[in-house]
């Protein structure tokens, strides 16, 4: 693991009702090599207004995202994954599996 790879997880609070009513998207993600990469991708997704929850599974290369489709679209989730590596030169890609 590179020294500049470390990232602190961000925390976002959503109500159980928001999460339950939210749309669910599954993304396939490429380019993650360590737990910090998964945290970086998760942070990028959670930073979006309208994303209530994001779980990134490094070993499976998958993210499950709960979001408000009135505020954000699934393609914007894919873009957020790509932007996640810009700060330290990592390169991530995502593809929507289901929405």
Q: Spell out the domain ranges in the chain.
A: 19-98
Three-state SS string over the chain comes to: CCHHHCCCCCCCCCCHHHHHHCEEEEEEEECCCCHHHHHHHHHHHHCCCCEEEEEEECCCCEEEEEECCCCCCHHHHHHHHHHCCCCCCCCCEEEEEEC
- Can you give the pTM of this predicted structure? 0.88
CATH of domain 19-98: 3.30.70.100
Strand partners, 53: 66
Q: Is 78 left (phi over 0), alpha (psi -120 to 50) or beta?
A: alpha
Nearest to 52 by CA among 13, 4, 3, 7: 13
| pLDDT tier, 3 (very low <50, low <70, confident <90, very high otherwise) | low
pLDDT in tens, 44-94: 999 999 999 999 999 999 999 999 999 999 899 999 999 997 766 789 999
């Amino acid at each position: 693991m590179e020294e500049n790879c470390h990232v602190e997880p961000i925390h976002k609070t959503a109500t159980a009702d928001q999460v339950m009513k939210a749309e669910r998207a599954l993304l396939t993600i490429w380019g993650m090599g360590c737990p910090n990469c998964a945290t970086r991708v998760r942070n990028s997704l959670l930073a979006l207004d309208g994303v209530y929850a994001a779980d990134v599974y490094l070993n499976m290369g998958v993210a499950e995202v709960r979001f408000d489709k009135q505020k954000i679209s699934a393609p914007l989730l894919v873009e957020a994954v790509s932007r996640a590596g810009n700060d330290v030169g990592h390169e991530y890609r995502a593809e929507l599996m289901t929405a």
